[in-house]
Every structure is written in structure tokens, then in C-alpha cells.
């Protein structure tokens, strides 16, 4: 039987590429050069499945006309880079990879909190530059996390995992905002307090961590007014999507001392990061490393493969996006 023809838009972990190459007529992006929107759109006519990543852009204009492709196997839990309504309207099934990156992304959120609170990025830059003159009582004093209030905006899998880590490791008090009810058994051991609005969480928190989808109503959720509510000693952590923060407003708030610092793993317009943000010492900036462990990236790739296998076998896909 002729193998289904599939395209991976970027390099994936080697074990996953081997699996897909064995089961499908797979085209791999061995140079790992980003594919443009036009090239991905053309691929919809040449392949039975296209497997994009969260760094690709798949707008509505891509899904006009008839396509050979039947399924988009997205490598990532987020899907705001795909116009889902247009894709499904054109008859494509869209899948994603939820759950498997929860722990690694929560670990990254805690990494950013610790680095920001203890000024670890600043300290490393000083030492590597040869500017450190030795220990002294007032040198580069940060703040401790123990006993501080952590505000979670978006209490889903990753938000809960982040809160549990912060509460267990540092005794942080947890407040949160979520659109839907969170099962009590998921948060009972933390004594987490649900608040009525995002604004209430921002005002109550020493550290705010964002765990919400990008796009739609969440675009620039953190605007100038909301950023100011965090306060001059407060810290903002983002491991969600870059567009949930108004980046221009964040730069202004950091400059003006309306917020104490920001730890960011994601940015608007990635991979471009404003020079003003890079120059600031009260930021910790990571290159979208949230799920970047070998184990998690392999799990994500295998989840895409599982979705493809189910789809082409005529079975329900495990992880549909609608």
C-alpha cells in the first residue's frame, strides 16, 4: 500500500523523525530553515498531512480552494498561529499536543521566577564580564520567594503545576483567575484562592504568572493599565504566548518603574526581541525554552505521530482542536 505523504516544517527529535519516516513517505526539513507561509500553503496541495510548529503562521488565506492535505498535526499545545475556523472549514482535521509539556513549562516558569527574584541573570553577566569585585553585604540584593503571593492567570494544567511547585517549594500563597471552575481536588492542597477578575489577581500578587492561550480576547490582555496594577516591586512571568502582553506597554512600565521586573520565555513577533528589552537589567529573557527537554520534545512528536496514525486508520484522533 502506498504510504501517506507527510511534511514536517522543522527538524524534530531524531527518534520521532525515524518513526515517521518508517511509517510514512515523510519529507523532513533537514536544514531546519523556517518555511514561509507561501511554502506551507503550497505544501497543502502536495501532502496528505502537514505538521507545523508553533513558530509557523497558517492564516485563513492559506485554506482557500481544495487541498490534498487532510490533517494538520501541530507540534505544540498552542494553536493561535493557525486559523482554526478556516482550516476546519476547509475540511482539515487539526490536532495538538496537550499535557506532555506541562511539567517542563511549569519548571521554566519557576526558573524565571528564581532568576528574576535573585537577579541571577545580572549576576552572571557581571561575573562573565570580569566586573565582579568580590562579596559584600549589599551586593546585588534580590528578594526571596518564600511567603510571597503568586498570582496565576489561567489555572489550567500548566498554571496548576506552576502553583503547586511554588507552594510546595517556597510556601508561596496562591491566588488565581480562571474563566471556568477548577476542580477542587486539583487545588485543595494549596489553599488557592480564586479571585473575580484579572485585576484582583494583579493587585493581590507579588509575582504574576501567565498561563493562558494567545490570540483572540487574550491579545494584549496585559496592557498598560493592568501592568501598572502589579506595582513597582512586582514581577511578571510569561511562559504562555508573547501576544498576551502588550510588549510596548511592558517596556514603558519597566522603564518607568511601574513594575519591578519581567521574566519572559515568549515574545511578540518571535524571534525578534526589541533592543530596549534586551538592554534592561530587570528582565530575564529566554528563547522560548518552555518545553525544551529531550523527553518532552520526543513525547510531543510521538503524540503528533499517534494523531496521524489514528486519522489515517479511520479512527478518532486523540487530540483534536476545534
Same domain, 82 and 12: yes
Query: What band does 97 get if pLDDT is binned at 50, 70 and 90?
Result: very high
Mean pLDDT of 123-134: 98
Mean pLDDT of 237-245: 97
Count the domains in the chain: 2
Same domain, 233 and 311: no
Same domain, 48 and 179: no
Question: How far, in whole angstroms, is CA 163 from its chain's centroid?
Answer: 16
pLDDT tens-digit readout, 104-127? 999 999 999 999 999 999 999 999
pLDDT tens-digit readout, 183-207? 999 999 999 999 999 999 999 999 9
Residue for grid cell 513594575: 259
Same domain, 89 and 194: no
Q: Can you tell me the distance from the alpha carbon of 62 to that of 81, in angstroms, rounded to the nearest whole number?
A: 12
39-75 in b/e form (b: 16+ CB < 10 A) is ebbebbeebbbbbbbbebebeeebbeeebebbbbbbb
Mean pLDDT of 138-164: 97
Q: What is the CATH number of the domain that holds 82?
A: 3.40.50.720
Same domain, 96 and 106: no
CA-to-CA separations, 130 to 94, 125, 127, in angstroms, rounded: 51, 9, 5
**Given this model, what pLDDT does residue 193 score?**
97
Residue 1 above 80 pLDDT?
no
Q: Can you tell me the distance from the alpha carbon of 11 to that of 109, in angstroms, rounded to the nearest whole number?
A: 25
* The three grid cell numbers given for residue 38, joined into one nine-digit string: 507561501
Same domain, 82 and 146: no
pLDDT tens-digit readout, 284-297? 999 999 999 999 99
Mean pLDDT of 132-142: 97
Q: Can you tell me the distance from the alpha carbon of 201 to that of 291, in angstroms, rounded to the nearest whole number?
A: 26
Annotated catalytic residue: which of 122, 270, 276, 298?
A: 270
pLDDT tens-digit readout, 10-48? 999 999 999 999 999 999 999 999 999 999 999 999 999
What percent of the chain has pLDDT above 70? 100
**Given this model, what pLDDT does residue 202 score?**
98
> Which pairing describes strands 71-73 and 149-153: parallel, antiparallel, or unpaired?
unpaired
Instruction: Calculate the average pLDDT of the chain.
Output: 97
Residue 322 above 90 pLDDT?
no
- pTM of the predicted structure, to 2 decimals: 0.94
Same domain, 23 and 163: no
Query: What band does 103 get if pLDDT is binned at 50, 70 and 90?
Result: very high
Same domain, 29 and 60: yes
Same domain, 160 and 86: no
**Given this model, what pLDDT does residue 65 score?**
86
Annotated catalytic residue: which of 241, 268, 294, 295?
A: 241
- Give me the domain span that covers residue 77: 5-100+294-321
Mean pLDDT of 243-255: 98
- What is the DSSP annotation of 84-140? HHHHHHTT-EEE---STTHHHHHHHHHHHHHHHHTTHHHHHHHHHTT------TTTT
Annotated catalytic residue: which of 194, 220, 288, 298?
A: 288
Per DSSP, helices labelled H in the chain are: 14-23, 37-43, 84-89, 102-117, 120-128, 157-170, 184-187, 198-204, 224-230, 247-255, 275-279, 294-312
Same domain, 218 and 301: no
Residue 241 falls in the annotated catalytic set? yes
Residue 151 above 80 pLDDT?
yes
113-144 in b/e form (b: 16+ CB < 10 A) is bbbbbbbbbbeeebeeeeeeeeeeeeeeeebe
Same domain, 133 and 261: yes
**Given this model, what pLDDT does residue 214 score?**
92
Same domain, 78 and 121: no
* The three grid cell numbers given for residue 191, joined into one nine-digit string: 489553599
Residue 270 falls in the annotated catalytic set? yes
Amino acid at each position: 500500500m502506498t504510504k501517506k505523504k507527510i511534511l514536517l516544517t522543522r527538524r524534530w527529535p531524531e527518534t520521532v523523525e525515524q518513526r515517521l519516516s518508517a511509517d510514512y513517505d515523510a519529507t523532513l526539513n533537514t536544514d531546519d530553515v523556517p518555511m514561509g507561509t507561501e511554502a506551507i500553503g503550497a505544501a497543502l496541495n502536495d501532502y496528505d498531512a502537514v505538521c507545523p510548529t508553533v513558530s509557523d503562521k497558517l492564516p485563513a488565506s492559506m485554506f482557500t480552494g481544495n487541498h490534498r492535505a487532510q490533517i494538520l498535526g501541530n507540534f505544540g499545545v498552542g494553536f493561535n498561529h493557525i486559523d482554526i475556523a478556516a482550516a476546519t472549514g476547509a475540511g482539515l482535521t487539526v490536532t495538538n499536543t496537550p499535557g506532555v509539556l506541562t511539567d517542563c513549562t511549569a519548571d521554566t516558569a519557576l526558573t524565571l521566577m528564581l532568576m528574576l527574584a535573585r537577579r541571577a541573570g545580572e549576576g552572571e553577566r557581571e561575573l562573565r564580564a570580569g566586573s565582579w569585585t568580590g562579596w559584600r553585604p549589599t551586593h546585588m540584593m534580590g528578594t526571596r520567594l518564600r511567603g510571597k503571593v503568586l498570582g496565576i492567570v489561567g489555572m489550567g494544567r500548566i498554571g496548576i503545576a506552576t502553583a503547586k511547585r511554588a507552594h510546595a517549594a517556597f510556601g508561596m500563597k496562591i491566588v488565581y483567575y480562571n474563566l471556568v471552575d477548577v476542580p477542587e481536588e486539583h487545588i485543595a492542597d494549596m489553599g488557592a484562592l480564586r479571585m473575580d477578575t484579572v485585576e484582583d489577581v494583579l493587585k493581590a500578587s507579588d509575582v504574576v504568572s501567565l498561563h493562558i492561550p494567545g490570540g483572540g480576547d487574550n491579545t494584549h490582555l496585559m496592557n498598560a493599565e493592568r501592568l501598572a496594577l502589579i506595582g513597582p516591586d512586582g514581577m511578571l512571568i510569561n511562559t504562555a504566548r508573547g501576544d498576551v502582553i502588550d510588549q510596548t506597554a511592558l517596556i514603558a512600565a519597566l522603564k518607568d518603574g511601574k513594575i519591578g521586573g519581567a521574566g519572559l520565555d515568549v515574545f511578540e513577533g518571535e524571534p525578534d526581541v526589541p533592543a530596549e528589552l534586551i538592554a534592561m537589567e530587570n528582565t530575564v529573557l529566554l528563547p522560548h525554552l518552555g518545553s525544551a527537554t529531550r523527553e518532552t520534545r520526543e513525547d510531543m512528536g510521538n503524540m503528533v505521530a499517534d494523531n496521524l496514525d489514528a486519522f489515517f486508520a479511520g479512527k478518532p484522533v486523540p487530540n483534536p482542536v476545534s
